Each structure stands twice: as C-alpha cells, then as structure tokens.
Structure 1
C-alpha cells in the first residue's frame, strides 16, 4: 500500500512540476494555481458565478494573454477574433463541446465538414422566407406580453421573469409546435425551463472540467434527473412528429431532413432530439437576457429612451403594424441593441476553441498547438483600447459618434465565421418587435425598491448570461409624451 501511494505521489508530483515549470504554456503569465489544475478556475466559477469578472481582473493584472488552466489561455487582443473565429482559422471547437455526448446538436459538432452539412438545413430554417412565416407567431406572443403588462400597469413588473416567459413560449412553439403557455399562466417554474436553467448553471460552474459530465451522466441515482429531463425532451419531439403544425416551424426543416434519411440510425434520432433542445436553449435564454439588459439600460438612461421613442413614434406614423424588415432599418433601435450586447454579451465568457497542431499567431504572441483558447466577450467588449468610455451605455457610438468605437471589428455578438449564430435574424426580430411595442406604448422606470447595483451584481455567468430580477413600473403614455 505504501508503495502504491509513493507511486501515485511521484506521478502527480511530476505532473504538477511539469505544468508549473516546463509546460509549453509556461511563458504565459497567470495565477500559479491555474498552472497546476483546472480546479483553480472552476473554484472561481462556483459560488457567485461571476467568472467573467474574475477573467476581466486577470487581464487587468497580467495583460492580453493569460494562462487560466494547465492547457488553456484567455486572450484579449484586437487580432484575436479574426484569428480564432473567422472562416480562415485553423482552430477547431474544444473539448467542452463533448459534454452532451452521445447527443450531438449543431452547436456541439466539432468536425467542420459534418457541421457544414448540418448547417445547410438550419440555414434553410432561418432563411428569409422562413422568417416571414415565423413573424406572425412572434407578433402574437408580443401581443400576449403586452396584455400581461397592461394587467400590471403602475405596479412593479419583474421583466426578467416576463421576458423569459416570452422567449420560451416563442421558441417552444418553433421547436415543438406548441407553446409552453408561460405567458398566459405566468408560470416561471415550467419543468423544462427550471431543469434547463439548473443544467446551464452546472455548465457554467464546471465548464473547465468537461470530463465530469460523462461521469455524472453514467452514475446511477446522480443521473436520475438528467435521464428524466431527456426523456421529457424525447416525448416532446415524438409528440411533435405525430402532430405536425398547420404552419411550418424551425423543427419542420430538421424533421424533413431526418425523415429523408433512407435508414435513420439511433445516433440520427439522438441528434434530432439534441437539435430540438438547442432551438429552445439558444433562442430563449439569450433573447430574454438581452431584452432584460436593454430595458435596464433604457430605464437608467432616459435620454436614450427618449431618443429611441422619437424614432419609433415616427416609424408608427408611417406603419400601422411593426414589420421586421422595416424595423431592421431603424438605426437608433439597432444601436441600442448593439450597445446592450456590447455591455451585456449573451455569452460573457466567450466560446472555447482548440488551436491546430502548428499553433496560431496573434499579434506578437505565438500560441502553441493543441491549446484551448477563449476570447472573454465581456472583457474585450469593455476594453478602452477598442471602445472609448467602455463601461458607458452610449448607443451613438454606432451612429453619430463612431469615433467612440476605435476597433468595432472586435464586436461580434453573434460570433463570426462558419460557427456564427444561425438564429441571429430571428433573435433580432424578437428584440426589435418587443422593444418597439413597449417603447411605443409605455413610460417605464425602475420600481422604488429596485437598486441598479442589485441587478448588475446579480448577473450570472452560466455559459449564457442569466439575469437577476429587474422590477420595472410601466405606465401608459399620454399622447405625444
């Protein structure tokens, strides 16, 4: 027994010494603990779940390239987005993308060629014609959201909760052919969303220990809730297959491709379930968080809200009902959305990539091969080298004061390259439709009990951004005011 312990001590001792002093990333600065184990950064992810702020502080202390794990670098450099995410990059997706194995949604595909094949179907599902088909549904759920706010005029409304209900109703309709009914019922505790948010919390906490997820899913008792959740998703998919909707939805395109297979395999069916799950996750959490943060900024910056209201009022003098194509031409509305996405990115920590064996050159930094790299979106979006007054909400930096954006190319809220967000235009449709209608109809301000710092400090990095409660009081607008 003593010999066994001695062997283990020797193995792990040698490994730690190698990581600390002789590893290929040893020349990059960072906390000493991060050199030894991913447990260091995981420890910073547990608790307040404000890892994006921890990473920001590390870059302030150590510079553009920081070692945050034995084989992982966080990079904030003007050349990094193009080098890591463009179509020309040699980088691939990192090991984090295996966490749902054996399920493999579009987002989780690591092989570029396989991703390109599946992406074609998704592109059809989010093309111009498809978006026109979805637009009446988005408008219908927006009307229901307005009815709920009308019923609560003059009282505090937790917009975090209601925007979440809205976005999940839209995406459950487009994924499963039916709404979860969260707007009508006011239910913020639907089984799917509650379990999903719990899972996303764990993803945020343990994203640097991806090997834990297969162990968790294979351990009896511990994996019971995970198995129950995916059984529920499977039932939703099977019900959707048996009951096609009268109008096409996003899932229609995926199902058409699946049913065209001559002999679908078990893996094909698992992937279909994973894609249905992805529609809900990618299209709901991100939209809800962005809407919440946008209205937080508008209530805190009444001059920007007044400017936006003027533009929207002018729009509605010429248009009876909001229409996505014409809304997309409202310059200041888009500027407010962009500025919100800059300050409160939907994925604050960025996404993981793996450098090719030959490595990668970013400015003066050569990144060795087979290194996990990540651009922390929150940090690069608030870097004073790229954006003047980086922590201020100034929509004009995208319109009349473009000199405030010295390097706008680093701003990529929907990512870039082959892995860019396929649902970008649908997300923007929801953002523009809801914002235009609420700004047109209501005045709004923070509830007396709502402190801005409570909202800002309550944001959670659960891979996607999760927002703290935000209580806003809506009152009807008087004509012309």
Structure 2
C-alpha cells in the first residue's frame, strides 16, 4: 500500500512531488542556459584576449583545439596552419594562445622568465612526478635529486647498460639484414629496455623477445588519450572515477606500484636513476601517502621521458638518413675515422663527432620529440614578447614544429641540412629558438642520456650498414603516420639494412 501510494505521488502529474520536480528541472535548465549564454557572450565579445586573432570557435570553447587534435592526432600541423593564416599570436582557446615569435622561447622558457607551468600539469593528479610539479620552489628541490642522478659520473655508470642494449639491437639488425625491419618498433624496444633497467633494475626484455611489453602498450594508449584531451582537462577527473572507463588506468598504476615495491627490495650492484630517487624518498620522514604516490610517478617518468622521446628521435634520424644518401655518406666517413682511432665506442669521445651531432640536431629540428611544445602560464602582471603584451594568467605555448620550420629562425627551413650546425652556420639565423629539450629550469634532465643512446646506436649502425627505405615504404606514409600525443608518436618505418659497399 505504501509503495503504491508513493508510486502514485511520483507518477501523477498533479502530485506535489511531480510538480516540485518539474519546477526544479525547469529552474535548473534555465539557470544552466543563462550561465552558458553569459559565458559564451563574455568570451565572444568582452574577453581580454579578444584582440588576438584566431578562429571564432576558439573564443567559445576548449573543444575547438580538442576537435582539431581528434582529426588525425596531428595538432602540431593544425596549429602550424593557423599561424600561417593569423600570424605569430593565435588564440586557440578561450584563455589560450599559441605564440610563434622569434623572441618567445626566451621570454617564456628561460631561467629569467616569470611564467609558470600551466594547468595541463595537473593531469596525473593525485600523483605528482617531477615533470608535473608546478611550484617552482618544490620543483627546484626535487630537480636537484634528479640532477645528481644524471650527473657526468652517473652517466658513466649507466653507459655499460646503454652499450649492452645497443649490442642487442645490433644483433637483431644483423640477423635480419636484407629484410624489411619496422625500426619504429625496434627503437622503442631498445629505449624502453634501457630505461626499464635504469628505473626498475631490470629490462622489459623486448629486444630479446621481439614482443611488445604491457608497459609500452599501456603507456602508448594513455599518451594517445592525453594527446586527444590535453585541451579539455576537465574530462580526466571524470575518466578516473568512472567505473569500466577507468579499469585500464587503475590496472596500469597498480602494476607500476608493484614494480616500485619490487625495486625497493633490490640492492643493485650498479647504481641506477631510481637509486637516487629512493635515497631521497627514504630520507623524508615521515613518509606520507603522497610521497609514495609521487615516487611511483617519478618511476614512471624515468621510463616515459627516456623512452618515447629517444625512440621517436632515432626513428626520425634514420628516416632522414635513408632519404639523404650524401649526408649518410658523410656521417659514415666521420664514424669510420673515429673507429680507426678508437677500438670501441665511448660516450665522451662520441660526443665530439661534429657531423654525427649535426644530423641528430637536424632530425630533432624537423621532427621535435614534443611537437606542440609545452604549456606555460603567464604571471598575474603579464609578459611582454616583442611589441606585444600578453595578459596575466593566460595559457601559452610555443609550437616547436612551427618555430623550428620558421624561415626567420632557419634558412631553408623544410630541408634536411646538417651543415647548418657545422660549416654553414649562416643557415641558423636564430639559434635561441632551437630547444628540442626545452631550456631554463624545466629543461629535460635526461638530455645527455638520450643523446648518449642516439650517438651509440647511430654510430654503430652507420659503421656497418647502408640504409634504405624498404619496398612499399614511402616518405608520405611515414609522415602521415606521425601523431601528436604530447610526445611524438610514429607509425611504422620499414627500412632495409645491408652490408656497406666499400
């Protein structure tokens, strides 16, 4: 009886409950409609960034850059097109500017800049790895620990690992020479195995098995989501608390937690990057739950920052060398002379090979590992870039893909010309803009390790093999397969490695 009476009260259009629910729904809808309308009117007509040019849709919602990204995951190309249409300062969101100005890199990223990290860096909350720390004082404290982990002495300790995995990569190339090899996969296997060793004290075993490890699959899936929704950050908290949708996310971080717990129990005979982080972590007493989560975040960062970027850079480098036979011959000649004087490679002497570094620099310029650049937030008082004042509390980015191909910064900007870094410095007009590893206090702490890996692999491969695109592999297919997932993700690149013709 009570149940049927309640059902009648709810279902009857004349019942008090029904009428109250109806009025609440109408009032709520009117409120939301009014709020939405006022926000859109403000953004369209009165917003402080309205003097900056850009598509009208960008004024209204952050869904505009999200839709651009969703087209082909090539937001860097979309933004490049916007700069060609609208100029150096382009409004790409309600409170967001893309800035391609010759003075922007120094103004936004140098040690003297008053800009801070933008809200994108909350994406892993509640975990806060070094990369995600927005407070400058806290970042400086944690960065000092990482700097010790990547000091010159520490890098010498890591070098045998780099050599070990380079040898494993070369074994596979030797075993498959003359056959088509998807180097995108194998350079990923290489860089992930190196960084797995330095983070967790053990390889992921991908070079040995030739199969993709769970960590790599999960990470690339996660990075794809970040690439899609990095301009609609309000979606991430919803994603993290929604059952079913968050199942893989929870599984991934649980797996990482297990790896960190296992690494804590290890006493490695050789120091690794995690050794430095763990020592600092254990010195912080009492150890809080937040500190434990941050340690897991840092462990993930070791692998992510050192693997995705290195793998993409190696792949881009060998793509360019396969296309440019004269430059390939020059780097081979330099490497031949090097091995005539050095029976075995070592990181210190490899770093002195100027043409090898030039081809690496040029590959990084044409294919920056973070193509859209990184997000910054202007200080409350705003900043001046050239003759343009950018208001305070504005989200800004320097699009590296666009800046590195700007003829005001580099002559013949779309060409692969390693000599701009050696014998033809006049082709590099504004060297300050070239910052594939960023600059200032937030620059990549693992830069020298990444360069060590690239030099080792490049020197050993060009010493032994000639390189060409495999049958059916076209430059267009490779370039079309590039994806902007914060870090650069690459589709298949199939190459042939054959014994050098002397």
TM-score, with structure 2 as normaliser: 0.94
Q: Displacement, 1:266?
A: 0.6
- Per the TM alignment, residue 28 of structure 1 is displaced from its structure 2 partner at its CA by 0.2
Which of 79, 82, 99 is the matching residue for 1:58?
82
Deviation at 1:338, TM superposition (A): 0.5
Matched residues in 2 for 1:181 and 1:198: separation?
20
**Is the CA contact (8 Å cut-off) linking 1:177 and 1:244 kept in structure 2?**
no
Corresponding residue for 1:270? Answer: 293
What's the C-alpha RMSD, in Å, of the aligned pairs?
0.8
Select the structure of larger CA radius of gyration: 2
Q: CA deviation at 1:2?
A: 3.2
Residue in 2 aligned with 1:360? 383
Find out whether 1:27 has 2:51 as its counterpart.
yes
User: 1:334: which partner in 2?
Assistant: 357
SS at match of 2:455: helix
| Alignment partners' CA distance in 2, 1:195 and 1:342 | 28
What corresponds to 2:11 in structure 1?
none
User: What does residue range 245-256 of structure 1 map to in structure 2 within 5 Å?
Assistant: 245-256=268-279
| Distance in 1 of aligned mates of 2:28 and 2:233 | 28
> Using the alignment, how far apart are the partners of 1:37 and 1:264 within structure 2?
41
What CA deviation, in whole Å up to 9, does each residue of 1:125-150 have, x standing for no partner?
A: 00011000000000000000000111
SS in structure 2 at match of 1:103? coil
**Aligned residue pairs, count:** 478
Q: Give distance in 2, aligned partners of 1:373 and 1:37.
A: 16
CA contact (8 A) 1:324 1:429 kept: yes
Q: Which residue of 2 is the match for residue 382 of structure 1? A: 405
User: In structure 2, the residue corresponding to 1:284 is in which secondary structure?
Assistant: helix
Residue 322 of structure 1 and its aligned partner are, at CA, apart by 0.6
Cα displacement string for residues 391-417 of structure 1 (whole angstroms, at most 9, x for unaligned residues): 000000111111111111100111110
CA distance in 2, matches of 1:365, 1:399: 34
**2-structure distance, mates of 1:472, 1:262:** 52
Does 2:105 match 1:81?
Answer: yes
Partner Cα distance (1:219, 1:5) in 2: 25
In the alignment, the residues of structure 1 paired with residue 41 and residue 29 of structure 2 have an alpha-carbon distance, to the nearest angstrom, of 18
Report the CA distance between 1:262 and its aligned residue: 2.3
Contact 1:324–1:433 (CA under 8 A) maintained in structure 2: yes
Please state how far the C-alpha of 1:244 moved relative to its aligned partner: 2.3
Q: Per-residue displacement from partner, 1:389-446 (whole Å, max 9, x unpaired)?
A: 1000000011111111111110011111000000000000000000000000111111
User: Are 2:339 and 1:316 equivalent residues in the alignment?
Assistant: yes
| Contact kept? 1:96, 1:207, Cα under 8 Å | yes
The answer as to whether partners of 1:204 and 1:461 remain within 8 angstroms in 2 is yes
Three-state SS of the structure 2 residue aligned to 1:46 is helix
Q: 1:262, 1:379 → 2: CA distance?
A: 46
Q: In the alignment, is residue 180 of structure 1 matched against residue 204 of structure 2?
A: yes
Q: Deviations over 1:49-104 (max 9, x none)?
A: 01000000000000000000000000001110011001111110000000101100
Match for residue 214 of structure 2 among 183, 191, 209: 191
What is the correspondence of 1:144-159 to structure 2 with a 5 Å cutoff? 144-159=168-183
Post-superposition offset of 1:44: 0.8
User: In 2, distance between residues paired with 1:16 and 1:246?
Assistant: 61
Number of the residue aligned with 1:214: 237
Aligned counterpart, 1:131? 155
Are the aligned partners of 1:175 and 1:276 in contact in 2 as well (CA < 8 Å)? yes
* Gap regions ≥5 residues in structure 2: 1-24
In the alignment, the residues of structure 1 paired with residue 297 and residue 121 of structure 2 have an alpha-carbon distance, to the nearest angstrom, of 13
Are the equivalent residues in 2 in contact too, given 1:65–1:76 (CA < 8 A)? Answer: yes
Give how far 1:4 is off: 2.9
Distance 1:219 1:156 in 2: 43
Structure 2 Cα separation of the partners of residues 271 and 279 of structure 1: 12
Equivalent residue of 1:475, what SS? strand
- Residue 113 of structure 1 corresponds to 137
The residue that corresponds to 1:447 in the other structure is 470
Q: Which runs of 4+ in 1 moved over 2 A?
A: 1-7
| TM norm structure 1 | 0.98
For 1:282 and 1:244, locate their aligned partners in 2 and report how far apart those are by CA, in whole Å.
24
Query: Cα offset for 1:7?
Result: 2.3
Superposition map of 1:418-429 within 5 A: 418-429=441-452
Q: Deviations over 1:205-248 (max 9, x none)?
A: 00001121112112222211111100000000011111222110
Q: Does 1:41 align with 2:65?
A: yes
Secondary structure of 2:72's partner? coil
The residue that corresponds to 1:5 in the other structure is 29
Matched, 1:457 2:480: yes
> Partners of 1:444 and 1:424 in 2: how far apart?
26
Local SS of the residue matching 2:384: strand
